[in-house]
Amino acid sequence: MAEILSIGALAKRAATNVQTIRFYEQEGLMPRPARSEGGQRRYSRAHADRLAFIRHARELGFPLDAIRELLKLADRPEQPCARVDRVAGDVLADVEAKIARLESLRSELRRMLRQCRHGRVSECRIIRVLADHSHSQCATSDHRH
C-alpha cells in the first residue's frame, strides 16, 4: 500500500510549513491532493517528490516561473533538455548579476569605512555619503537600485 501523508506530515518531511505547501498548490506547482471523506488533504509519494524538487530549486535561487517551466519539462522526459539548460542559464545569469552588484556594494561600503575619520557624527563621511541622494560622492553608480 502506498504511503499517504497529511499536510502536516508532508510539511514536516519536507522541512517546510503548511502555508508554503498550500501556496505551491495555489500557484499550480503542486497538484491538488486527494481528500479524505472528512475533507483532509491526502498526499502521495509523488507529492513529496515534487515538493522536494520545488524546495531544492528554490534553495538554488530558481524563481517560481522557472520552477513551473522546469516541472512542465520534467513531466515530459522524452524532450531534449535544451529548454532546461536555457532556464538554468537564465538563473545563473541572474545570480552572477546579483553577485556583481553585491561586490560593488561591498567595495562602496569598504571605501566609506576607509574614509571615516572616527570623529563626530556631524563630520561623518558615511552619513554624508548616505545623505547625498545624487550619489555624487559614491565611487560607483551601480548600487542605486
Residues 57-105 pLDDT 10s: 999 999 999 999 999 999 999 999 999 999 999 999 999 999 999 999 9
Residues 73 and 126 in one domain: no
Burial class (CB in 10 A: 0-12, 13-18, 19+), 78: exposed
For 23-63, write each residue's pLDDT tens digit.
Answer: 999 999 999 999 988 889 999 999 999 999 999 999 999 99
Q: What is the mean pLDDT of the chain?
A: 89
CATH of the domain at 37: 1.10.1660.10
Q: CA 134 to CA 45: how far, in whole Å?
A: 56
Residues 48 and 64 in one domain: yes
Domain containing 37: what range? 1-79
- pTM beyond cutoff 0.85: no
- In 10 A of CB 58, how many CB atoms? 15
Residues 19 and 42 in one domain: yes
Residues 98 and 68 in one domain: no
E-state strands within the chain: 34-35, 41-42
Residues 3 and 67 in one domain: yes
Residues 69 and 111 in one domain: no
